[in-house]
Amino acid sequence: DTGVSQDPRHKITKRGQNVTFRCDPISEHNRLYWYRQTLGQGPEFLTYFQNEAQLEKSRLLSDRFSAERPKGSFSTLEIQRTEQGDSAMYLCASSLRQGLDGYTFGSGTRLTVV
């Protein structure tokens, strides 16, 4: 287990379609985070999990977005009825101890909505 894995790396979808992304964190990390990054901006927080519990969601996460971490291991982020404004890099990160360890980011999933 060498890092945080995200799948797919790239996704092109038509407006209105649903997409799902997967993140596999570092195995011993109990905290998992989803961020969104658009060109020229810093990552923006979407949501985070401690084990299987989703403990915080950003207002950026509209009702079209849902995230799960059913067994406290991998996580999925689903976007329903995609819009062009959803085009971004979706980054997953994990950490062991908040405030004591930095995040380890995955390579991200680049979503393009056409």
Partner 1 sequence: GENVEQHPSTLSVQEGDSAVIKCTYSDSASNYFPWYKQELGKRPQLIIDIRSNVGEKKDQRIAVTLNKTAKHFSLHITETQPEDSAVYFCAASRYGNEKLTFGTGTRLTIIP
Interface positions with partner 1 (CB under 8 A): 31, 33, 40-45, 48, 50, 55-56, 58, 91, 98-100, 102-108
Query: Is 47 in contact with 57 (CB distance < 8 Å)?
Result: yes
Query: Least distance in Å: CB of 81 to partner 1?
Result: 26
Query: Least distance in Å: CB of 51 to partner 1?
Result: 13
Query: Is 72 in contact with 52 (CB distance < 8 Å)?
Result: yes
Distances (CA, A) of 54 to 27, 70, 72, 98, 114: 18, 10, 10, 15, 30
Query: Least distance in Å: CB of 12 to partner 1?
Result: 17
Q: Which two tokens stand for residue 65?
A: 């977005």
Which residue's CB is nearer to partner 1, number 54 or number 80?
A: 54
Query: Is 75 in contact with 34 (CB distance < 8 Å)?
Result: yes
Distances (CA, A) of 40 to 3, 65, 87, 88, 114: 25, 23, 13, 11, 20
Which residue's CB is nearer to partner 1, number 70 or number 102?
A: 102
Query: Least distance in Å: CB of 105 to partner 1?
Result: 4
Which residue's CB is nearer to partner 1, number 25 or number 43?
A: 43
Which residue's CB is nearer to partner 1, number 60 or number 114?
A: 60
